[in-house]
A and B are shown apart, each in its own frame.
Chain A
Amino acid sequence: MITELGHFALILAFLVAIVQMVVPLIGAQKRWHSWMAVAEPAAGAQFALTALAFGALMWAFIVSDFSLRLVWLNSHSAKPMLYKISGTWGNHEGSMLLWVLIVTLFGAMAAWFGGNLPPTLRARVLAVQSAIAVAFFAFIIFTSNPFLRLETPPFDGQDLNPLLQDPGLAFHPPFLYLGYVGLSMAFSFAVAALIEGRVDAAWGRWVRPWTLAAWVFLTIGIALGSWWAYYELGWGGFWFWDPVENASFMPWLLAAALLHSAIVVEKREALKSWTILLAILAFGFSLIGTFIVRSGLLTSVHAFANDPERGIWILMIMAFFMGGALVLFTLRAGAMEAKGVFGLVSRESALVVNNLLLAVSCFVVFVGTMWPLVAEMFFDRKLSVGPPFFNAAFTPFMVALGLILPVGSVLPWKRARLMRAIKPLRYVFVLAIAVGGLAYAMQSGRSMIGPIGMFLGAWLVMGVIVELAQRTGRGADRLGRLMRLPRADWGKAVAHSGLGVTMAGVAGLTAWTVDDIRVAQIDQPWTVGSYELMLTDVQEIRGPNYLSTMGVLTLSQDGQEIAQLKPEKRFYPVAQMPTTEAAIDYDLKRDVYVVIGDQQTGGGWTIRTYIKPLTNWIWIGSALMALGGLLSLSDRRFRVAAGATRRRAAAVPAE
Chain B
Amino acid sequence: MKRLVLILLLFAAPVWAVQPDEMLDDPVLEDRARELSKGLRCLVCRNESIDESNASLARDLRLLVRERLVAGDSDEEAVEYIVDRYGEYVLLNPTATGANWLLWGAGPLMLLLAGGVGFIYLRGRSTAKAPTEAPLSADEQARLDDILQQ
The answer to whether A and B interact is: yes
B89 and A368 within 8 A (CB)? no
**Would you give the shortest CB distance from A366 to chain B, in whole angstroms?**
9
Which residues of B does A touch, CB under 8 Å?
Answer: 5-6, 8-10, 12-20, 23, 38-39, 41, 46-49, 52, 87-94, 98-100, 102-104, 106-107, 110-111, 114-115, 118, 121-123, 125-126, 128-131, 150
Whether A114 is near chain B, meaning CB under 8 Å from some CB there, is no
Contact indicator per residue, chain A 336-356, by CB within 8 Å of chain B (1) or not (0): 011111111000110011001
Assembled-state Cα–Cα distance A270/B10 (Å): 52
B118 and A301 within 8 A (CB)? no
A606 and B19 within 8 A (CB)? yes
Whether A580 is near chain B, meaning CB under 8 Å from some CB there, is yes
List chain B residues, Cβ under 8 A from A368. Answer: 103
Assembled-state Cα–Cα distance A579/B14 (Å): 8
List chain A residues, Cβ under 8 A from B150. Answer: 648, 651
List chain B residues, Cβ under 8 A from A367. Answer: 102-103, 106-107
Whether A642 is near chain B, meaning CB under 8 Å from some CB there, is no
List chain A residues, Cβ under 8 A from B5. Answer: 306
A577 and B17 within 8 A (CB)? no
**Would you give the shortest CB distance from B117 to chain A, in whole angstroms?**
9
List chain A residues, Cβ under 8 A from B114. Answer: 356, 359-360
Assembled-state Cα–Cα distance A348/B18 (Å): 51
A161 and B9 within 8 A (CB)? yes
B125 and A364 within 8 A (CB)? no
A383 and B89 within 8 A (CB)? yes
Assembled-state Cα–Cα distance A383/B102 (Å): 14
Q: A360-B114, A577-B13 are in contact. Are A387 and B88 (CB under 8 A)?
A: no
List chain B residues, Cβ under 8 A from A338. Answer: 125, 128
**Would you give the shortest CB distance from A361 to chain B, in whole angstroms?**
8
**Would you give the shortest CB distance from A439 to chain B, in whole angstroms?**
21
**Would you give the shortest CB distance from B143 to chain A, in whole angstroms?**
8
Closest to A243 in B: B47
B23 and A360 within 8 A (CB)? no
Task: Give which listed residue, A356, A386, A394, contacts B92 with CB less than 8 A.
Answer: A386
The residues in A between 341 and 393 inclusive whose CB is less than 8 angstroms from any CB of B are 341-344, 348-349, 352-353, 356, 359-361, 363-364, 367-368, 371, 375, 378-379, 381-389, 392-393
Interface secondary structure of A, over-half rule: mixed
List chain A residues, Cβ under 8 A from B125. Answer: 270, 338, 340-342, 348
Q: Which 3 A-B pairs have the closest CB atoms?
A: A386-B92, A388-B93, A364-B107
Closest to B149 in A: A655
Assembled-state Cα–Cα distance A299/B129 (Å): 53
B13 and A356 within 8 A (CB)? no
Q: A344-B126, A368-B103 are in contact. Are A233 and B13 (CB under 8 A)?
A: yes
30 pairs, A vs B, C-beta closer than 8 Å: A233-B13, A234-B14, A234-B15, A240-B48, A241-B47, A300-B46, A338-B128, A340-B125, A341-B126, A342-B125, A348-B122, A359-B114, A360-B114, A363-B107, A381-B100, A382-B87, A384-B94, A385-B92, A386-B91, A387-B38, A388-B39, A389-B103, A392-B93, A397-B111, A575-B6, A577-B6, A577-B9, A598-B16, A600-B20, A606-B19
List chain B residues, Cβ under 8 A from A342. Answer: 125-126
Whether A597 is near chain B, meaning CB under 8 Å from some CB there, is yes
The residues in A between 538 and 587 inclusive whose CB is less than 8 angstroms from any CB of B are 569, 575-580
Assembled-state Cα–Cα distance A579/B5 (Å): 16
Q: A349-B122, A383-B89, A578-B15 are in contact. Are A519 and B20 (CB under 8 A)?
A: yes
List chain A residues, Cβ under 8 A from B126. Answer: 341-344
Assembled-state Cα–Cα distance A475/B92 (Å): 58
Whether A148 is near chain B, meaning CB under 8 Å from some CB there, is no
Whether A637 is near chain B, meaning CB under 8 Å from some CB there, is no
Assembled-state Cα–Cα distance A612/B131 (Å): 57
Whether A517 is near chain B, meaning CB under 8 Å from some CB there, is yes
Closest to B89 in A: A382
**Would you give the shortest CB distance from A532 to chain B, in whole angstroms?**
19
Assembled-state Cα–Cα distance A383/B99 (Å): 12
Count chain A CB atoms within 10 A of each CB in B23, B47, B150 and give the residue with the most: B47
Assembled-state Cα–Cα distance A543/B39 (Å): 37
Closest to A576 in B: B6
List chain A residues, Cβ under 8 A from B103. Answer: 367-368, 371, 375, 385, 389
Whether A518 is near chain B, meaning CB under 8 Å from some CB there, is yes
**Would you give the shortest CB distance from A181 to chain B, in whole angstroms?**
26
Q: A337-B131, A344-B123, A371-B103 are in contact. Are A384 and B9 (CB under 8 A)?
A: no
Whether A242 is near chain B, meaning CB under 8 Å from some CB there, is yes
A578 and B20 within 8 A (CB)? no
A375 and B100 within 8 A (CB)? yes
B115 and A356 within 8 A (CB)? yes
Closest to B127 in A: A341
B12 and A235 within 8 A (CB)? no
Closest to A520 in B: B20
A606 and B16 within 8 A (CB)? yes
Whether A163 is near chain B, meaning CB under 8 Å from some CB there, is yes
Q: A235-B17, A371-B94, A517-B18 are in contact. Are A300 and B107 (CB under 8 A)?
A: no
Task: Give which listed residue, A243, A360, A580, contacts B110 with CB less than 8 A.
Answer: A360
The residues in A between 290 and 343 inclusive whose CB is less than 8 angstroms from any CB of B are 299-301, 306, 337-343
**Would you give the shortest CB distance from B12 to chain A, in whole angstroms?**
5
**Would you give the shortest CB distance from B118 to chain A, in whole angstroms?**
5
Assembled-state Cα–Cα distance A549/B104 (Å): 45
List chain A residues, Cβ under 8 A from B93. Answer: 386, 388-389, 392
Assembled-state Cα–Cα distance A53/B38 (Å): 46
Assembled-state Cα–Cα distance A375/B97 (Å): 12
Assembled-state Cα–Cα distance A381/B89 (Å): 8
Assembled-state Cα–Cα distance A385/B93 (Å): 6
Q: A359-B114, A386-B41 are in contact. Are A381 and B88 (CB under 8 A)?
A: yes
Count chain B CB atoms within 10 A of each CB in A163, A301, A344 and give the residue with the most: A301
List chain A residues, Cβ under 8 A from B91. Answer: 383-384, 386
Q: A341-B125, A384-B94, A517-B18 are in contact. Are A580 and B13 (CB under 8 A)?
A: yes
List chain A residues, Cβ under 8 A from B15. Answer: 234, 569, 578-580, 597-598
**Would you give the shortest CB distance from B42 to chain A, in whole angstroms?**
10
Closest to B133 in A: A339
List chain A residues, Cβ under 8 A from B100. Answer: 375, 381, 383
**Would you give the shortest CB distance from B40 to chain A, in whole angstroms?**
9
List chain B residues, Cβ under 8 A from A356. Answer: 111, 114-115, 118
B98 and A381 within 8 A (CB)? yes
Assembled-state Cα–Cα distance A230/B117 (Å): 40
B6 and A386 within 8 A (CB)? no
